[in-house]
Structures are given as C-alpha cells and as structure tokens.
Amino acid sequence: MQKDKVQEFAKKINIDFNNINLLKQAFVHKSFINENPGFKLGHNERLEFLGDAVLELVSTDFLFKKFNDKPEGELTNIRASLVNSHHLTLVAKELEIEKYLFLSHGEEKDKDSKARQYIIANCMEAIIGAIYLDNGYANAKQFIEKYIFKNVDEIVDKKLYLDPKTQFQEKAQELYNITPKYKLLEESGPDHKKSFVVGLYVDKKLITKGRGSSKQEAEINAAILGLKKKDW
C-alpha cells in the first residue's frame, strides 16, 4: 500500500497525521512481516495494545458520565458491547479498513473466517493507538465517540448489550414465566473440526436450532435465531 492510500484513510476520518507512518503501521498484520522481513515498519500489535487501553478509558469515562443512573454491572455490559471484536469489526467494515490492510498471501485469501474478524477488530484498536500517539487523547476520544459510540443510544434502549441468550431468557421469563433450555441435538466432525447442533426449547417446545463449532456458539446462534423468530 502506497503512502497516498494511507493519506486517503486519514482524510476519510478527517485527521491530519504528523507522522503518517504511525497510521500506516496500524494496518500491518504480523503475517505480512513474516513474508516481508525487510519491510521498514513493524507490525501493529504494540499499537493495538495501546489502543485497547485508550478505548477502555474513553468508553468507561463516556458511559459513566452519560448514564449516571445505571449501576456498575450494567455499565460493564454496555461497555463490553461497544468494545468487543464483533462491534469493532462492524465499525471497521463501515470504514472499509480491509482494503488498507497489509496481510500475507494466505491471510489475504481467508476473507470470511473468524481470524479475519479479529484481525480487523485489532486493526481498529491499532488505529486508535496511532491517533493517540500522533494527535493526542482528545482526538483519539473524538474518533472513538464519532465512529464506535454512534449507536450507543439504540444499543441501550433496545438492551442490545445483553448477550442473545440473556435477551431470550429475559423475554421468555417476562412473557411465559419459563426459563428456556438448550439441548445438544447433533455432534459431528473430527476432533479438530467439530460441529454442534443445539435446540432451544421453551416448555418442551423446540423454538429453533443453532449450529456452531462449539456448544456455546451453537447455543448463542440458537438464541439469535429464536429472537428473530419471536420478533423479540
């Protein structure tokens, strides 16, 4: 990626970098360095480490001040929903971060895996770290609030910060006074690549089936499908 591509991204987020190489490094995955040992910049893991800490502080401060009526446990859940890899990946996709990444040939081809999701989420944190180092805390805070917190009111109003299983359980208990149950229906595949199918039941009635590479993932997927089916 040429420097003008990095400048393109800097312009997109409306930040003038004193050292554009800091932003460029935020896009460098370690797999690229393994294939290109002579590359003049390092990978982005140190920037990711820093950005993670900045994001944690900004989100904690933001939520503490915005929702002064909410207890610590609820604030913790809201914060987790904003800074987890799934949410960061959604934000990163809106910013089209993938087209700026430095990846190995193997990682470049693997576009739809969980590993790619983590790479993209980690890159978001590295970008925050780069902004903080180059432009200071105030600009890093502004970036985070503009892109990562933009849907916070919807998340809180609709209680999207609760995990799908908790959301489904709360609605089932509220409407039916019944706690939903999960039952393993199918297990297949070799040990290194298992696949599980789990049924979600309310009062012995099968609501949905969820599939995943672990029982927990299958249960979460069943709950997601159950929320959609029930329009909850």
49-95 confidence digits (pLDDT tens): 999 999 999 999 999 999 999 999 889 989 999 999 989 999 999 99
> What per-residue confidence (pLDDT) applies to 3?
55
Give me the mean pLDDT over the 202-213 stretch.
94
Q: Is the pLDDT of residue 110 over 80?
A: no
126-181 confidence digits (pLDDT tens): 999 999 999 999 999 999 999 999 999 999 988 888 888 988 998 999 999 999 99
Residue 113: pLDDT band with limits 50, 70, 90: confident
> What per-residue confidence (pLDDT) applies to 170?
87
- CA separation for the pair 232, 228 (Å, rounded): 6
Active site residue 52: yes
- The catalytically annotated residue of 48, 107, 125, 219 is 125
> What per-residue confidence (pLDDT) applies to 107?
87
- CA separation for the pair 170, 58 (Å, rounded): 30
Mean pLDDT in the chain? Answer: 93
- The H-assigned helical ranges of the chain are 3-12, 20-26, 30-35, 45-66, 72-83, 85-94, 105-109, 114-135, 137-147, 152-157, 164-176, 215-230
> What per-residue confidence (pLDDT) applies to 97?
95
Cα-Cα-Cα-Cα dihedral sign, residues 103, 107, 109, 110: negative
Give CA 127 to chain center in angstroms.
14
> What per-residue confidence (pLDDT) applies to 88?
96
More confident residue, 9 or 192: 9
> What per-residue confidence (pLDDT) applies to 163?
84
The pTM (predicted TM-score) of the whole model is 0.76
- The catalytically annotated residue of 52, 108, 110, 145 is 52
Please report the domains of the chain, with CATH numbers, ordered by start residue: 3-157 (1.10.1520.10), 164-230 (3.30.160.20)
> What per-residue confidence (pLDDT) applies to 16?
95
Whether the Cβ atoms of residue 106 and residue 34 lie closer than 8 Å to each other: no
